[in-house]
Structure 1
Amino acid sequence: MYHQVKAPKRLIEVALPLDAINKAAAREKSIRHGHPSTLHLWWARRPLAVARAVIFAQMVNDPSWKWELDHPGEIPPNNIKASWAASRSRLFAIIKDLVKWENTNNDAVLEKARAEIRKSWRETCELNKDHPRAAELFNPNKLPAFHDPFAGGGALPLEAQRLGLEAYASDLNPVAVLINKAMIEFPPKFAGRPPVNPESRSSHDSWSKQWSGAQGLAEDVRQYGQWMREEAQKRIGRLYPPVEITADMAEERPDLKPLVSQRLTVIAWIWARTVKSPNPAFRHVDVPLASTFVLSSKEGKQAYVEPIVDRDSYRFIVKIGKPPARAKEGTKLGRGSFQCVLSQAPISGDYIKIEAKAGRIGTRLMAVVAEGDRRRIYVPASQEQEAIATTAKPDWRPDLPFAHNSRHLTPWAYGLDNFGDLFTPRQLVALTTFSDLIAEVRKKISRDAVASNLDDNDVGLSAGGVGARAYSEAVAVYLAFALDKVADRGSTLGRWDPTPTQSGIINTFSRPALPMTWDFAESNPLGDASGNFLGGIDLVAKAMLVSKTDAAGLACQDDAARQTLGTDKIISTDPPYYDNVPYADLSDFFYVWLRKSMRSIEPELFATIAVPKGEELVADPLRHEGKIAAENFFLDGMTNAMHRLCEQAHPSSPVTIYYAFKQSETETTEGTSSTGWETFLGAVVRSGFALTGTWPMRTELGSRMRGQESNALASSIVLVCRPRPATAESISRREFLRELNQVLPEALDEMTRGSGDDRSPVAPVDLSQAMIGPGIAVFSKYAAVLEADGTPMSVQTALRLINRFLAEDDFDHDTQFCLHWFEQYGWKEGRFGEADTLARAKGTSVDGVKQAGVLFASGGIVRLFKWGEYSADWSPAEDERLPVWEALHQLIRIFRTDGESEAGKALAAVAAKVEPTRQLAYRLYTLCERAGWAEDARAYNEIITSWSAIESAAAAAPKAQQTDLFR
């Protein structure tokens, strides 16, 4: 019945202020305190700015909607189009205010956006007042609810709630479900309530203070968290003693003399794993596997560990000053191999694995980092400090093996194949103590809640309770989140940061993986520095205040391919990223601790021993008997899930889907293609959706750990989709091309001119991706586009035809990428995320263009090589990936260094690319001239003016020598 609905075109199907949204998203990623992402770690969250803008534009009618409904297929006059542009400019202004971080809970800004949503909703209801299901679907006094079936970290449901919609979130992963409950379900349930703890209730200003939103709930989290910290200090404080600066220490370290007899709070204990020396003479000695001895690399505050060898033993001392070169590598020789500190014998990775699996891997304390007077004090390890750590005897430990995933989880290869193995005994004692205290504090909270007049009933959170028991359970959830923060910085996979930063300890999940570490930093959960419990409480409490409690929320566990929760709801979702992040495998790290304290609160959610994995939509070869089977599982499952969304979504609004796969390539009969983008797009089209827009968003932090190490995922494409009518017809390739030629010129004009008075055009690097929207909208609205032989046209072919409109038909995919990148940046550096977005649109990848030898891409930075940087020993005959861009710039290099004759030989060697090379030179000359890049324009002009002479030289070049020209 969806085809009977009169659905106004929404703003997101026509135009967006992309630049403003992307800038706000980039800024937001650097905000750590008070951001919902600090409530609990989750991987690949969407920035709130992007989620808010997308949902708003998904709900608001485009100014063109009424005219287009009344004049289907007609071209609007210019005065009408000008009126639309002015109206869009007003909506853009709302979005630009809406996405600013400081306006996250600005009621005036939010109310302006909500009013616009309500206005559009009333227009939609009026339009459909005679619909058979109008009473169900089009109540002008009640906005439709929102649903995200892949809720993950909860950014989308939270922002829907902030915009005034009831928010529903579902996910297969119980950790994600609990995060969503804490973000959208609990705060509205207890909104506006004062805290129940006696300290706050007895405060002198409690009678006059107004507790709005989740403020009272957050205050209780702080107060009861403080009680837990004090209780933990009584029970396990002996395991975390201060370090005393002795006179003996000061003799070796004059900088410690002013601190003699002082007892300093420990920030971290720095440990190295050990194995038995492979040298038979020292087989009885455990030698350290340290990847670095550097404690501080900051200029003027440098410090490092030095091992002192005494026959068949060694000890560590701490030195102040610039570390020697070797200290930076510790005992490491190479990837996974080390050197014995006693004999210098190499310790191979295979030897370490054998020792580890035999249970002969141990630990040795190298140094202690303590808190001085506004500085860090680096103290040598002592037998006393090491002995105290070894006295810890945990009475419980997680017992859950993790997947032997060599890409994301590597400790298993070294004998650490159980989550309980990732913690020292002292860390286990601390985590179990705090976990037990959560159960104890719940009873205390419940008693205090009854004393503050909450209903004294026995109805828990999972049963929908709102009384004393339910309230105590809600506070306990947030306390458990703080404990998970301690675990994240309190495992043996956490590393010491020598830079030094504010945090000091690099957390376990600095990237979405559990990699093996050799030296690690043990945090002090009872201290004041990184990894302490009260610090986690503070982050959680601040994050709670960002929740918006004006609308109800509900989160539950459900499979996206089978759920029914999305029926007749507005849908925006961020599905899993193919094989980029194994969410279930990673989240078991937190699940084992949450289950210990939360099972009595959410018994169904934590009923299983581990996070469910069999139905998780991730292409994991380990679970599905190989790469091909894993890919088929993912694509079939995702198609089913998309089909379900297509059937369920509220008929008045498009569905928005975030696509954020890391780009990959494959060779096909039609050349190199970007498999992830094209395959996912094909799955969406096959599911019954027609696409009405594609918008590139900068959704990842370029400076994050993984982005610094590699060119990882850094952007998303938002797909705007509507169900394709069951009556959709098939058309021929010729008819498809004719319609493209009608639609794309106007779309290109709109995108390059910008909308409204601000004239904010789509940036050149985003233009190709944005242009796919109106192009693929034509393709996907039909049941099929038929080739001359009657076979359906592929998505890959449709994308190539859309790109042809941008006058790039004679250029290969790599050259198309380079051309548009150059138009935006010239030879300057740009962010990997933007390059990744552009490469997808052009059917290539950043890594592929890099392999062609025309691009620098490292550390999240991308730039094109200038002609002078190209290799002088280039051989066209041996160049397996030779884009036109490379041919032209090699030609310029040779022409400028060796003249027309050698340039002619080069041109002869690339005879098949002569005409597109000449066309590219013309195009680049024109581009540089318009941009005022005189020097660059001169290089292209010289080639163009000398082209005839170069061609003559090419004709005269001996063909037999062509393969030897550039060796």
Structure 2
Amino acid sequence: MALAPFEWKDKPALIEHLFPVQKISAESYKEQMAGSGKTLTALGSYWKGRKPLILNKACILGSLLPATEDHLKDLEIFEMLMGMDTETMKKRLEATLPFSKRDTVGELLVLPYSEQVSKAKRSEELGDLLYAHIWSRVNRHLDTSANSISELVEQMGIARFGRRPKVADVFSGSGQIPFEAARLGCDVYASDLNPIACMLTWGGFNIVGASKEERANIVEAQKKLIEHVQKEIDDLGVEKDGGGWRAKVYLYCVEVVCPQSGWKVPLIPSLVISKGYKVIAELIPIHIEKRYDIKIRYVDSTEKVELAEKGTVQDGDLVHSPDGITQYRVSIKTIRGDYKEGKENKNRLRMWEKADFTPRPDDIFQERLYCIQWMKKKPTGSKYDYEFRSVTHDDLKREQKVINYVGKHLEEWQEKGYIPDMVIEAGDKTDEPIRTRGWTHWHHLFNPRQLLVATFVQKYLSAYTSYILTSILDINSRVCRWNNSESKGAGGNTSNTFDNQALNTLYNYGTRSLGNMINFFFPQYKESSIYGKWKVFTHSAQKINEENDIYVTDPPYGDAVKYEEITEFFIAWLRKNPPKEFAHWTWDSRRTLAIKGEDEDFRQGMVAAYRKMANNMPDNGIQVLMFTHQSGAIWADMANIIWASGLQVTAAWYVVTETDSALRQGANVKGTIILILRKRHHELETFRDDLGWEIEEAVREQVESLIGLDIKVKAQGSEGLYTDADLQMAGYAAALKVLTAYSRIDGKDMIAEAEAPRQKGKKTFVDELIDFAVQTAVQFLVPVGFEKVEWQKLQPVERFYLKMVEMEHQGAKTLDNYQNFAKAFKVHHYDQLMSDNSKANSARLKLSTEFKGAMISGDAEFAGTPLRALLYAVFELSKEVEVDDVLLHLMENCPNYLPNKTLLAKMADYLAGKREGIKGTKTFKPELEASCARILAEAIRNQRL
């Protein structure tokens, strides 16, 4: 029997009650590690802020599925639909094994889930056939009649909203959320202020989601494009040497006059051209002309390569020696003429003009071609021979031919929109090329050869090949560094413009020839079916005016990438002459309208956006808000925004979405907080004194519910669903759910309080309430073995250490867990407690043997605490100090020893239990820690005073 329209109208969504975050984290990590193998990356790898498609799928299905009284069955069905059940995992593992080894799958299925995932195919790689076995059980549980995900999604949408579900993302970015929603069978509304984001979103639907016939047309358009461009380049005759060799890479460097010596010197940070081929650049002084010739040499030893590592740029200085004796050293800032005028940084650089594309003769920074890598197809097969060569007179003639050709046509090409004429607007990221090089227009970031190829591509552009243009711009600009690789394959390569999210100018860089870019004309787009209808718009989030049932958003926040600035790099090329499919979009970054930062404008912009979304969804609509936090203030800001938007938190989850490479020294690791939001329907009032009991009760119910489900899952022989970090986040959610249900607290209008401007350094009423709620949630998570009163007697840093010991025992390894708990417990220097070898996905606390005698006394948070004294005692036992002496030292080091004696014994027992059974290494010995802690616990209990 089919579900009736609105039959589930008032049923809570599954994601509001359970969400297997540990499994979803493992799946998300697997997808992030796929790199270029990810489904949408080929459309534009320069867009870095991509939420995993598997996470988006989980959020959308979790928002449609109902939560029933049978949570175990709900979980089973959800995992089937996600491809995470045992039978589906078996298929995913088999797909990675040769046929002869498929009988070993059973051995893999007993591994922890994260290890199974690491060895399996991603579920999206195997398609709909993966789900053939699930439909009878799914339909029986849900009263549906589906035979595919898209059919099920439509039926669930009708049961919940009376129609196929409409999903919206008004911060669409790279299009990950809209694409996954449409792939599941939802109708989709996607918008973004940034036209490059809209282009990527459109590409997901129309290229990755293209039919076989459409894909054939796309391939044909790609072939025609390369044929046109190749003919234009070949007709000019500027990439061949006449001897059968075609250029692969041109290496350029900046050249300046040294003010100390008067010599013209090339700025090359490293004289190593190729480590793999053992090629170096040798500077040959031409004394009569006070300049250097550059000779490219193959050397016969690694030592000679290493000697060439240091070039003429060292620690920000120009360094050279024309006679090999006298060394000249001068700061490049001095050469550039840097100075301050008031608070403004200035220099003596000439600002380039619209007609410039090469330096003028009297400019401080000149540019020089100093090496060419050539390639020649081998007589057999498709492989190439490669050669690095010094620049010859004929090479310079070809170079001048390119310069002359571009110079002759520049004005015409700019008029037609083939080459940008757009000014670089000053900004956080865009100041760099203006300040350091005097570049004022976007085409200044491209040299003549780069302009030539990009222009020829632009002349024959269509909507389907515009992604080739943006890829070529990304891999071929003046800010593409040359990597002198160890590889013996190509001998080196040029990096992308956006290998980081900045526009850092370079002293030397690589330029690809057309022959070295052929692969980019035939990107390997993935294939996926799109089942839902879709719309893409360029407008701000506040401008949405259509009702949607589910909003899934990953908004800009905090120190997020400034796409409104850096994508002008691409916008400049497309704005005057976009393909007709994109012509109705606004081809401008509209920086002033972009929501960004952490200041008052950010909060107001976000409130306006989420209030508009709330107004444009049905009463039973649901919002999934993702944010990757790097500062505690963002969490508070999000709560303020939700309150002021008329929304209420109903659940929160934390998913690890970043890889080890995301860890930068001094930066927090990124995971994704997922908040589930509903409209706040009632005007409720309460007082802060009453909130404590209500919050504690809500936290207790939420945590006990998840622990109960976890126990049931383990009883079936499966891995647990939740760690303490997950329970902590669920506790936050329960606390916020209570808070955000109220419109008035202590007589104050909470919307007005949430919208009130912040005063720097001063906590608002809302901040205080959130702190109170969070602390209430944290206090409830008392480890087994401690009484609540005992737990509260401990210093925050002690609670943090003991809580993380428990998490390590549970197998948690990610550094973000430590960061989150440190914030919750208000531990300011948690890093002092961490092992020196901690990485993003392999972190741990120091053992007592690693602390040794550090932080026994002093100003550190840990110094002078009973736990620190206890750990020192454990360390002494590991060094075979007599037990009586250890106890004597413990009494001296521990403040108020007698009142704390019972608690010390309990902490020692706790440490012993949590360190047992953990795999050690030569330097990490938890079993020794456990043994010593056990001995110490007995000694403390048996001590007679």
Shared fold, TM over 0.5: yes
SS of residue matched to 1:9: coil
SS of residue matched to 1:477: coil
Distance 1:398 1:141 in 2: 49
Distance 1:677 1:699 in 2: 18
Q: Deviations over 1:579-612 (max 9, x none)?
A: 22111001111111122430765344245xx411
State which of 458, 462, 467 in structure 2 corresponds to 1:435.
458
Distance 2:917 2:239 in 1: 67
In the other structure, the counterpart of 1:961 is none
Written as runs of structure 1 = structure 2, the 5 A alignment for 1:353-364 is: 353-354=336-337, 357-358=349-350, 359-364=363-368
- 1:493 equivalent to 2:486? Answer no
Distance 1:710 1:551 in 2: 43
Distance 2:801 2:485 in 1: 36
Aligned pair in 2 of structure 1 residues 377, 536: CA closer, same or farther (>3 Å)? closer
Distance 2:421 2:905 in 1: 66
SS of residue matched to 1:239: coil
SS of residue matched to 1:493: coil
In the other structure, the counterpart of 2:127 is 106
In the other structure, the counterpart of 2:705 is 746
Distance 2:191 2:778 in 1: 37
8 Å CA contact 1:810–1:916 kept in 2: the answer is no
Q: Deviations over 1:180-218 (max 9, x none)?
A: 122226777xx64xxxxxxxxxxxxxxxxxx35x42343
- 1:675 equivalent to 2:647? Answer no
Aligned pair in 2 of structure 1 residues 484, 646: CA closer, same or farther (>3 Å)? same
- 1:47 equivalent to 2:72? Answer no
Counterpart AA for 1:379: F
Distance 1:339 1:910 in 2: 63
1:339 to partner: Cα distance: 1.6
Distance 2:746 2:900 in 1: 28
SS of residue matched to 1:486: helix
- 1:760 equivalent to 2:765? Answer no
1:894 to partner: Cα distance: 6.2
- 1:697 equivalent to 2:659? Answer no
Counterpart AA for 1:289: L
In the other structure, the counterpart of 2:757 is none
SS of residue matched to 2:654: strand
- 1:589 equivalent to 2:566? Answer no
Aligned pair in 2 of structure 1 residues 424, 838: CA closer, same or farther (>3 Å)? farther
8 Å CA contact 2:167–2:551 kept in 1: the answer is yes
Unpaired runs of 5+ residues, structure 1, are: 65-79, 125-133, 193-210, 245-261, 439-475, 620-629, 665-673, 953-967
Distance 2:296 2:41 in 1: 40
Distance 1:172 1:313 in 2: 50
Q: Deviations over 1:26-53 (max 9, x none)?
A: 2323241572121123231111121122
Distance 1:910 1:588 in 2: 65
SS of residue matched to 1:499: coil
Aligned pair in 2 of structure 1 residues 693, 178: CA closer, same or farther (>3 Å)? same
Aligned pair in 2 of structure 1 residues 62, 292: CA closer, same or farther (>3 Å)? farther
Distance 2:387 2:451 in 1: 25
In the other structure, the counterpart of 1:796 is 771
Written as runs of structure 1 = structure 2, the 5 A alignment for 1:688-727 is: 688-703=646-661, 707=663, 711=667, 713-727=669-683
In the other structure, the counterpart of 2:353 is none
In the other structure, the counterpart of 2:314 is 333
In the other structure, the counterpart of 1:56 is 61
SS of residue matched to 1:410: helix
1:54 to partner: Cα distance: 1.8
Q: Deviations over 1:734-779 (max 9, x none)?
A: 2332343333222233246548946332353643454336523542
Aligned pair in 2 of structure 1 residues 748, 945: CA closer, same or farther (>3 Å)? same
8 Å CA contact 2:813–2:844 kept in 1: the answer is yes
- 1:806 equivalent to 2:781? Answer yes
1:709 to partner: Cα distance: 6.6
Counterpart AA for 2:721: V
- 1:26 equivalent to 2:29? Answer yes
Written as runs of structure 1 = structure 2, the 5 A alignment for 1:555-570 is: 555-565=536-546, 567-570=547-550
SS of residue matched to 2:259: coil
- 1:572 equivalent to 2:552? Answer yes
- 1:14 equivalent to 2:17? Answer yes
Q: Deviations over 1:367-392 (max 9, x none)?
A: 33333665774523314335533442
In the other structure, the counterpart of 1:130 is none
Identity within the alignment, %: 17
1:365 to partner: Cα distance: 3.2
Q: Deviations over 1:257-295 (max 9, x none)?
A: xxxxx643333222222222131x3x2x33232232333
Q: Deviations over 1:687-732 (max 9, x none)?
A: 33222222222323433xx646764653212212222222445353
8 Å CA contact 1:867–1:889 kept in 2: the answer is yes
Written as runs of structure 1 = structure 2, the 5 A alignment for 1:156-195 is: 156-184=177-205, 192=211
Unpaired runs of 5+ residues, structure 2, are: 1-5, 90-116, 146-154, 338-346, 351-362, 750-764, 783-790, 920-925
- 1:240 equivalent to 2:239? Answer yes
8 Å CA contact 2:29–2:658 kept in 1: the answer is yes
CA RMSD of aligned residues (A): 4.3
1:151 to partner: Cα distance: 0.5
8 Å CA contact 2:270–2:308 kept in 1: the answer is yes
Distance 2:309 2:136 in 1: 59
Q: Deviations over 1:601-628 (max 9, x none)?
A: 5344245xx4111121111xxxxxxxxx
1:109 to partner: Cα distance: 4.2
Distance 2:697 2:367 in 1: 71
8 Å CA contact 1:702–1:860 kept in 2: the answer is yes
8 Å CA contact 1:733–1:786 kept in 2: the answer is no
SS of residue matched to 1:575: coil
Aligned pair in 2 of structure 1 residues 165, 117: CA closer, same or farther (>3 Å)? farther
Q: Deviations over 1:667-695 (max 9, x none)?
A: xxxxxxx2222332342244332222222
1:658 to partner: Cα distance: 0.9
In the other structure, the counterpart of 1:479 is 465
Distance 1:487 1:310 in 2: 37
Written as runs of structure 1 = structure 2, the 5 A alignment for 1:759-838 is: 759-764=718-723, 766-772=725-731, 775-776=734-735, 778-780=737-739, 782-783=741-742, 794-807=769-782, 809=792, 818-825=801-808, 830-832=813-815
Q: Deviations over 1:77-135 (max 9, x none)?
A: xxx566556556655656785995353572334788999999999889xxxxxxxxx9x
8 Å CA contact 2:732–2:774 kept in 1: the answer is no
8 Å CA contact 1:698–1:834 kept in 2: the answer is no
Distance 2:309 2:479 in 1: 19
8 Å CA contact 1:144–1:165 kept in 2: the answer is yes
Distance 1:330 1:517 in 2: 14
Q: Deviations over 1:899-943 (max 9, x none)?
A: 645555543599999998776544322212365842121233355
Counterpart AA for 2:699: L
- 1:231 equivalent to 2:206? Answer no
1:175 to partner: Cα distance: 1.0
8 Å CA contact 1:488–1:509 kept in 2: the answer is yes
8 Å CA contact 1:7–1:651 kept in 2: the answer is no
Aligned pair in 2 of structure 1 residues 17, 269: CA closer, same or farther (>3 Å)? same
Tell me the number of residue pairs that the alignment of Structure 1 and Structure 2 aligns: 808
1:9 to partner: Cα distance: 1.9
Written as runs of structure 1 = structure 2, the 5 A alignment for 1:943-954 is: 943-945=936-938
- 1:350 equivalent to 2:315? Answer no
In the other structure, the counterpart of 1:879 is 860
Counterpart AA for 1:13: E
Distance 1:51 1:689 in 2: 21
SS of residue matched to 1:32: helix
Written as runs of structure 1 = structure 2, the 5 A alignment for 1:179-578 is: 179-184=200-205, 192=211, 211=212, 214-236=214-236, 238-242=237-241, 263-279=244-260, 281=261, 283=262, 285-298=263-276, 301-311=277-287, 312-314=290-292, 315-320=294-299, 321-322=301-302, 323-334=304-315, 336-342=316-322, 344-354=327-337, 357-358=349-350, 359-371=363-375, 377-384=386-393, 385-393=395-403, 394=406, 395=410, 396=414, 397-402=419-424, 404-405=426-427, 410-418=432-440, 419-438=442-461, 476-500=462-486, 504-524=493-513, 526-527=514-515, 529=516, 532=517, 534-539=518-523, 542-543=524-525, 545-565=526-546, 567-578=547-558
In the other structure, the counterpart of 2:910 is 923
Q: Deviations over 1:609-662 (max 9, x none)?
A: x4111121111xxxxxxxxxx51111222122222223323444531111113x
Distance 1:833 1:660 in 2: 11
Distance 1:710 1:305 in 2: 36
8 Å CA contact 1:390–1:425 kept in 2: the answer is no
1:423 to partner: Cα distance: 1.4
1:405 to partner: Cα distance: 4.5
Distance 1:516 1:829 in 2: 41
Q: Which moved more, 1:874-883 or 1:26-35?
A: 874-883
8 Å CA contact 1:876–1:910 kept in 2: the answer is no
